[in-house]
Each structure stands twice: as C-alpha cells, then as structure tokens.
Structure 1
Amino acid sequence: MKIALISEHASPLAATGSVDSGGQNIYVANVARQLARKGHHVDVFTRCDKSLLPLVSRLNGVRVINVPAGPKRQLPKEQLLPYMEDFARFVVQFFRHEPSRYDVVHANFFMSGLVGLRVKESLGIPLVTTFHALGRVRRLHQGADDGFPDERFDIEDRLVRESDSVIAECQQDESDLVSLYQADNGRIDVVPCGFDHEEFHPVDKYAARAELGWPLDRFIALQLGRMVPRKGIDTVVRAIGLCNCALGEEAHLYVVGGNSDEANEIATPEIGRLRVIARECGVTDRVNFLGRRARANLRLYYNAADVFVTTPWYEPFGITPLEAMACSTPVIGANVGGIRYSVAHGESGLLVPPKDPLAVAHGLVTLKRDPQRAQSMGAAGLARAKEMFTWESVADTLSEVYARVAGIDVAADAARHAYNNVHDAWLATGGASV
C-alpha cells in the first residue's frame, strides 16, 4: 500500500523529551519504519519547523515531507491551528502531483485530522485517525491551563463522525470516545503503542550504572519523559521526600528530560518548579535532574534504575512504561489510561492513584525492601511487553485496518505480488526454470 502519515507537530526527525516532542514522535517514527519494512511505501507529512530543512528528508526507508506552513521555527502546538489551512492546501497539491495514488491517510492528532479531512474531501482517500490525546479529556484535567481553543472539540467531533476508522490506543481511550464523543463502536479499532526490542532490552544493572557513572549502592527511581506539569513529576519528588523523611528508607530520584542537554531552568521552567518542591521536601540532594538525553542512550537509564516511576494525571497510552518493561525494570505507574492497560498490577509493577505521593512512596519502599519481588516484576514486565506490545505487531494491525478501509484484499494482493516476483524472475532467465 501507499500510506500517508500526517503528524503536524510531532516529526519523526525531532529529538524526543522536549515540551512538544514525546510519545507521538516515537509512535509516528516507529509505525512508519515498521510499515516500510513490511514493503509499504510510507510518507510522513509534518510541519517544517527549521529554516534549513529540505522539502523531503529520508529516514529508515521513509520519506519525511517537511510541509511549509507557518514560520520555519519551533512553535508550541497550541499555536499551530491557524496554519492548518496552508498545511492542508500543500498536502492536497502534493498528493495530486504524485505519480501513484495514496491508498490511505493516517492522521495523528486532531490538527492532522483536520488536514486529513481536507484530503478526503478533495481526493476521496480514506482517513484513519489517532487522536493521541482527546481535547475534552485534556480540558477536564487541565482546565484553564489548556491552551487549545474550544474549536478543537468541534473538529474532534467531526473526525469521530467522518473518519473511516478511529484508532483507540487502549480501552480507556475507547471508552472516552464513546462517552464524550458518541463514537460508533463499530468504527473504533483498538491498537496499542509498542516498543522496539532492538532499541530496548535488558543489560546488567551494574554495568549500566558504571557506564553512566551512577553510584552502585543507591536505590534509584527513574522518571523519564516530557517535563510538563500534567506528567505528575511533582508527585514522584514528594514521594522521595516521604521515603527519606517519613518512612525511613533512603531513595534517590533521577529525572531525564527537558528542552536542553543540561538541566536548565530557563530552557525548561518545569525543572525550576520541581527543584522548589524538592527543597521544600528536604531532598534537594536526592533528586537529580539530568536534562535531555539522546534516545540511543535511554536503554542505559532504564536498566540502571531499580524502578521506573510515571505518575501523570491522565495518559492516552504512555510509551515509557513499555520501554522500562522491555528493559526488565519494574514500573510504578498512575492507574490511568494506557498505563492501567500496559502495567499488570502486582505482576509487572504497581498501579497507584494519580497525585498520591504517599502511595508512590509505599510502592518504592515495598520494592526496595523486597528486591526479589522487584526482580520478578521486571521479568514479568519483559515477558508482557514482548507478548503484547511490539511495534511489529502494531504495524501488522494497522496494516489490516488500512487495507479494510481502502477496500484492499490483502491476501489476494500478496498472492498477486508473489506471482509477479516469480514471473519477473522467469522472464529474467529467458524462460528457463526458476
């Protein structure tokens, strides 16, 4: 198939960990790569946010089209909606000048969905939409801090009605689509996120610590991801304070993420807020902010930690728990959204209420005092991740969805492709046996 992925603010070329660069970037990059590995032609359309980017880049067998829409610099995603008409106009013209027709458009996020709707209207190409976050859920949790206009709700309503398939990333996502958007269950496909086993796998904890220069004898909790308030990192900082000051167990927190390679309060204001909380809790010397790290090195951080902690207020899915599980590291996660689905409570980790530092602290103490249980949870998490959450299986399921909405008989198409390969080989030999 010829597949167009639209991801207006989350480019597969971007470094992850900054404010608007996280799970969606990883999702788009890995889905595109796996689809290309399976023989599909994949193009990713994303907004050009740097002046020196070429119109077309190439990454892992995928074309990345850097769409000129708005200023060629990074902007908060909350400011991008006014540029979507220009984005859509460019994409429609690009499609029209392609030598072969696209079979399906997969839009990621509601603004990409708006572009996808314009393509569907103009060219009749079927549309699949993954929201990655729903506006009404975001507004429920963030209130006045939500920077998106109410117009988002109308766009999402229309996408739910007019998309040929809406991808829910977990059961909670599906439930929210039905209850808040009156979505038709028959047009929802539940497809989770995944991890790359080549990228994330177990290594010896002490070897990882030695490479990172971490102390070998500390009990270390890791928090890794975007540095924004809704990720609930303050809950983990307060939990470290409770461990050390109320529960009598020494514990350290290492925080990876931010908008710069060094932990910089100017580049990442959230770090400044969290440092104040650490000081108030009396654990300034036990909370370490490391800044952004290259994705190729994240495996070391997951493996070096005794436990991975992630406590967002809400989470459409959450890729970082999968990456930790893939490194055989137990997870303490907020009992919300996709984390509730990916982490098996009591088996691969512990689920706790969001915004509950005491529950997190008790979880940390439990795992510190029972390292054998922590080790068995890590092993169970690795097995669960391999069985349920690989990018290969995600791409396989998405391929089936694409084929269905595009009206393509995959089995017949595969047989036709195999026949053509044999026939071409026969012709190449001048008709001899092959």
Structure 2
Amino acid sequence: MASLGPLGIVGQLFLDSFVEHERHRFNDLNQPENQDKRFEPEFLLEDRHFSSTRSTARMPLPAVYGAVYATATSSAPAGKIDSGKKAMRHLENLPLLVASDSLESMSTDGKWLPRFMRRAVVRSVANRIAGLILVGTSAFLASCIATLVKDDAFKLSTVETLFWRSLVSWLLTLAAIAATGVKMRVKKEFQRPLLLRCFTGCIALTLTVLVIQKLEVSNATAITYLSPLLAFAMAAFFLKEKPGAFTLACSALCVVGAVQVVRPAFVFGKNGSTDAKWYRRSMTSFVTSYLFGESLAIGCAVVTVVMQAGAYVSLRSLQKVPHLVVMNYFLLTMTLVSLIAILVVQHGKFKAGLSVETWGAILGTGALAFAEQLFLTRGFQFDGAGVLAATRLLHVGYEFVWGVALLGTALNPWSASGAAATAAGVLFLALRRVHTHWAARRSMRRMLQ
C-alpha cells in the first residue's frame, strides 16, 4: 500500500471500507426482517425523495461502484413481503430497471469486477439519468393516450374523456396508496407548493385538452412548447437551480424540434402549417371562426405556458413528498374540475355508452394516465425542472410517429426532422450524464493505481 502514495492510500482505504460495508449490507438484506428491501435498488432505498446528483455527491468516489445495489432475483419466503408494496415498487421502478438491465447487457467494461459490483456500476449509470428515463416514459404514455383519443372508435366527447380518465387514474392512485400504506399527511412547508401543483397543473391540462387541442391552431400549439424555457427561468429564481450551457443548448434543441413538428403558420405560412385545413373551416361558429378562434387559442396558449412552467417547478419543489400523495391531490382536483366542466358544457349529461368497447377504452386510458402521472411525478424527484420539462416534449415526437404509423398522417420531412431533433436533445442530455459518470470512475481508477 505504501507504493500507492498518500492519495492512493486514502482511496484504497475508502474502497476497502466501502466493500466491507456492502458485504455486511448484503448479509443484512438476507435476514428475514429485511427481505422486502431486496426488491428495490439502493438509490431508491436510502432516500426516495432526493435528486440523484445530491445522493452521489454525499458518497466517496469509490462508492460509485455501489451507488445502486443490484435487485435480488430470488423470491422471498411466503408471507414476508406485502404483495401490494412489492407490486408498486416493481411498477414505479420498471423503466429504471429495464434501462439498467439493457445497459448491463451492452456493457463490456468492468468484466474484472464481481457480478454484483458490475451490476451496481451499470445501475449507477441508470441512476444518473433516472429523471430522464422516467419522464421520457411518461411522455411515451401521454402520446399513447393522445393517439387513442384521436381514434375514430373512441366515441366520447373531449370533456367527458378528461373526466373518466382523471377519475379512473385517481381511483388507481387510491388503490396504490392503500396497498403501500403511504401516509396522506403533508407537512405545512409543502402545502403551498402542493396547492400550486394542483392549481397550475389543472388549468394547464384543462386548457390544453378543451381549447388548444380542440381548435388545433398551430401557432398556439407551438407557443405551449416554450414552457421548458420559462421553467428554467422560474426554477433558477425560486429553486436556485442553475443549469449549464450544454443543458440549456440541449433543452433549446428539444423546444425547436417540438415546434418544428407542429409547423406553426408564422414560420411555414398558412399552407405549410399543420392547421392549413383549419383556416378553411366554416365561419358559422363564432368560437371556431378565424377572427375569434385563433385569438382565443393563442391567449389560452400563453396562459398554458405559464401554468405548465409553474406546475413543473412546484412539482420539483415537492420532491420530499411521497409521489403518490402528490398524484392523489392533483388527480382529485382534476376529476372535480372536469366534472364541473361536464355540468357546464353538457348540462350534466353523460354521453358514455354501455358498450364493452367504450368502457374498455375508458379503463385503458385511465390506467395509462395513472402510469403516466406516476412516472412524471417520480421523475421530478431526480432532476431539475427545466431539464425534465424539455424531456417531456418527447411526447410531440411520439405522437407524430403514432400519427404516421397508425392514423394515416402524411409524412412531412420538416415534422420528421423536428421529432428527430427533440429525441437528439434528450439523448445528448443523457450521454452527457453518462460521460460524467465514467469520467469520474476512470479518475478514481487512475488514483488507485
């Protein structure tokens, strides 16, 4: 050990102590009273409500080998694990576990390490990009919901679809809370951010579904995609999150790509935009007329941008509150607001038929909405508000792909390149985090040599 030098000796001592700690921890996890902990990665066990950046910063560099402990593959004795808790853990961590297993299968580095440490290295990479993975999965599910609603077989009105989707997802959230035993009490310091999350998120979703998507004005839709830029500014002011230049550049690329997909009229002209047909609609309806409809849509889009950014920042500030609790209050608020909208728009009359197909669609979209909110709320516990708001724009590219593949939408080169640009922006963000991880690991190995 003397040949290593002072820094090498310190690093070796850190590594030896860490390996000893992990050996004792592995033995502890095999004790009957700790069997339920074996089914969850370590970065979800230590503290479920802090960002991955801060969790890594608290550990010595050699602990990067064990930043995330491998999940156990063997089953526990009967009766030792509550099935509801285990099921929810598997569901909410599914994107992270799939990503880490995929990375492990492609990884050729570190073969000299024992298997449990090699898997820990790979899972620590997934930990660095956990927020991107979860929010990206949420965007994918959101695009699936939007595509299902656009299908001609879906016979419900927009406002009724929003109500049933919110109600089913809220009921599933209550079931998850009952299964996991999460306490519903919210500390006083988090009550105001939770209220803002419910208020801003509800307004943003209502305006998006009932006005902007209904009128389909490309200029208004493009404006709503600027919310990540405002989220960066609000997060820097309220949460003191200061992103780097590379992060801002990648997020801006995501925004530009999303705007390019929708092809707004102020850039591509009336004939080249996605709302070319909208300008030739009948003028009999005052709301959908050119004189009033576009002004209404753009005004709602501006409000939506502010509300979306506020929802992202407030959601990020709730990272220490159990995500199921945040989901419960938000979905409850959304259910009540959409019910009021039905009373106003449809005079309290539900138009949902009793066919199996209709109720199957209701339950399906509700289940997807539950999973979408689960991954979205969970993801904002790991990374900054602006970065994840930009990642959320992946749903624009996903919707374009589904439209071309399933709904017969014409393949436009500009929209295709915009979807690719959005995906590239998120990919660059992930690669930067992975590169930082491996650079720190290589530096530690050189120090120990």
- TM-score, with structure 2 as normaliser: 0.27
Structure number with higher helix proportion: 2
- Rg larger in structure: 2
- TM-score, with structure 1 as normaliser: 0.28
Structure number with higher strand proportion: 1
Structure with the larger RCO, 1 or 2 (CA within 8 Å, 6+ apart) = 2
